[in-house]
Chains A and B, each alone.
Chain A
Amino acid sequence: MRWTTLLAVLMIALGCWSLPATAASSDGDVPTSAQSGRITDTDTWRAIRQGEAGFISGQPEQRGQLIQSEGEAWRAARNGKLAWYGGLALVGVVLAIGAFYLIRGKIMIEGGPSGRQILRFNKMERIGHWLTAGSFLVLAVTGLNLMFGRWLLEPIIGKTLFSWLAWAGKWLHNLSGFVFIAGLVVIFVLWAKDNLWDRYDLGWILHGGGLLKKGDHPPAAKFNFGQKTQFWMVIVIGTLVSSTGVSLLFPFTFADMAGMQVMHLIHAALAVLMVMAILGHIYIGTIGMEGASTAVTTGYVDRKWASLHHSVWVEETEAKEPKAAE
């Protein structure tokens, strides 16, 4: 008697899956355990492995994702391709500049400076340059530190000191990003019109910018084609690096996990490109050429230098204001 009661209770309890089972067996099709919902089928495991998100209570919805595999790809790209090719490219550029210096030497003002100064960049232009350049130097150093510091600097200075440096660098990086954006806006407004293609550019390109041969000075207006390339590189890559940077600064505000990973890689890869180009810019503006650096410090350059490198600009300026050159 008691045994049959127990059996009845069991049958009621198991009713939920004994019913479809009997229904199925009537036409000869026995359901598998997976179909009955008793067993976690392989599709469920595969879905979890591929990043299926589930319901989660009391915690942010994004945490419902159990496994995200994109992080593996991000890690592989950052620690692999980006670190290696980026590092090699930077070392390569430094070596190339060194080789160029050894072969070509410092580009001197032929016949020596004239002693007469001419205003090349006014105060606003210099401020624009240094807003961009100053913040870029900070951004580049702190950014490269995050990328390579663990391998290059940390073994030398130790973990504690390096952690402090990296922490300070992170703050500086976050703050100077905004200065950089301001600088980009200023130089774009001031210089965009002077950086459009003009009829001297083709000649400049055909002469290789006069870099290859001593005494070769293709005519150029305020900016030659090399400077224009540099300018648009800074504007375009700078804008991309800035916009990805701002997105990284406000994590998950503008993008999800995959977006953050991709933007980080774009940010880092483009930044490496930009550092490479700016290394060349710094070289030719300082140790690579006599008389160039004062254009962005005092604003004045030697008239002789200007007439060699920017002959058209000198003519135009002096035609406009005959007293510009003093």
Chain B
Amino acid sequence: MARMKFLCDAERCIHCSGCVTACKNEHEVPWGINRRRVVTINDGKPGQRSLSVACMHCSDAPCMAVCPVDCFYQTNDGIVLHNKDLCIGCGYCFYACPFGAPQYPSTGNFGGRGKMDKCTFCAGGPEEDHSKAELEKYGRNRIAEGKLPLCAEMCATKALLAGDGDMVSTIYRERVMARGFGSGAAGWGHAYGKKG
């Protein structure tokens, strides 16, 4: 069984933010919400590196564990999805998430949040594949189309890898061997842990 994973190669990411833009466009993500983000560490200093982050689709997903209405589910491919019809916008998943993935449109009383939105690994939601409801709530379902997440597919430097975890790590390993340096994969161990 294929296990879907993301990996961002810090040696290759050039902070072009193409992934962020592609994601936002592909899924018609609402105002103020970005499912993916690019962060530059040591900005302007030696050792400057950029990383693209979104939901990592953790093996033992903290969001799933703390959700009071149990709206999350993990597909057979290991993709963590959620049901926006059940979400009450409590914000617990955001407190628990190591990667700051959950985002909320701020509608509601006081600091109240709307229904949570996050990266779906381009796999839509609980609605029927390619349905209008799925498109409106979760965006395109590229996985069901037999494709990979757009952010990774269109990454110009191929820094962002997505897909079957075994394939992703093979590609990355060969790349590290070929260039002879730079083998850290941020968040990889944190998200996929011992369970793989």
A-to-B contact residues, CB < 8 Å: 33, 37-42, 44-45, 47-49, 52-59, 62-69, 71-72, 74-75, 78-79, 145-147, 149-150, 154, 159-160, 162-163, 166-167, 170-171, 174-175, 249-253, 257, 260-261, 264
For chain B, the count of residues having a C-beta within 8 Å of the partner chain is 51
Main secondary structure of the interface of A (DSSP, over half): helix
Contact indicator per residue, chain B 69-109, by CB within 8 Å of chain A (1) or not (0): 11100000000000101111111000111111000000001
Could you tell me the distance in whole angstroms from the C-beta of B141 to the nearest C-beta in chain A? 22
In the bound complex, do residue B110 and residue A71 qualify as a contact, i.e. CB atoms below 8 Å apart?
A: no
In the bound complex, do residue B113 and residue A251 qualify as a contact, i.e. CB atoms below 8 Å apart?
A: yes
> Considering the complex, which residues of chain B in the window 117-164 have a beta carbon less than 8 Å from any beta carbon of chain A?
none
B-to-A contact residues, CB < 8 Å: 10-11, 17, 20, 34, 37-43, 46-47, 49-51, 53, 62, 65-71, 83, 85-91, 95-100, 109-113, 181-182, 184, 186-187, 190
In the bound complex, do residue A146 and residue B68 qualify as a contact, i.e. CB atoms below 8 Å apart?
A: yes
Contacts A67-B190, A75-B65, A162-B69 given; does A56 touch B98 at CB 8 Å: no
In the bound complex, do residue A174 and residue B110 qualify as a contact, i.e. CB atoms below 8 Å apart?
A: yes
Which single member of A38, A62, A71, A257 contacts B181 (CB below 8 Å)? A38
Known: A54-B40, A71-B95. 18 other contacts (CB 8 A): A37-B46, A37-B47, A44-B41, A44-B49, A48-B41, A56-B37, A63-B39, A65-B39, A66-B99, A66-B186, A67-B99, A68-B97, A72-B96, A74-B95, A75-B62, A145-B68, A159-B71, A166-B88
Could you tell me the distance in whole angstroms from the C-beta of B7 to the nearest C-beta in chain A? 14
Could you tell me the distance in whole angstroms from the C-beta of B149 to the nearest C-beta in chain A? 19
In the bound complex, do residue B49 and residue A40 qualify as a contact, i.e. CB atoms below 8 Å apart?
A: yes
Could you tell me the distance in whole angstroms from the C-beta of B82 to the nearest C-beta in chain A? 12
In the bound complex, do residue B181 and residue A250 qualify as a contact, i.e. CB atoms below 8 Å apart?
A: no
Contacts of B91 in A (CB 8 A): 251
* A190–B161 CA distance with the chains assembled, in angstroms: 65
Could you tell me the distance in whole angstroms from the C-beta of B195 to the nearest C-beta in chain A? 15
Which single member of A37, A54, A146 contacts B41 (CB below 8 Å)? A54
* A264–B96 CA distance with the chains assembled, in angstroms: 12
Contacts of A42 in B (CB 8 A): 184
Could you tell me the distance in whole angstroms from the C-beta of A102 to the nearest C-beta in chain B? 35
Contacts of A249 in B (CB 8 A): 110-111
In the bound complex, do residue B69 and residue A67 qualify as a contact, i.e. CB atoms below 8 Å apart?
A: no
A-B pairs, top 10 by smallest CB distance, nearest first, are A54-B41, A55-B43, A163-B86, A250-B111, A54-B39, A37-B46, A167-B88, A71-B96, A45-B184, A55-B40
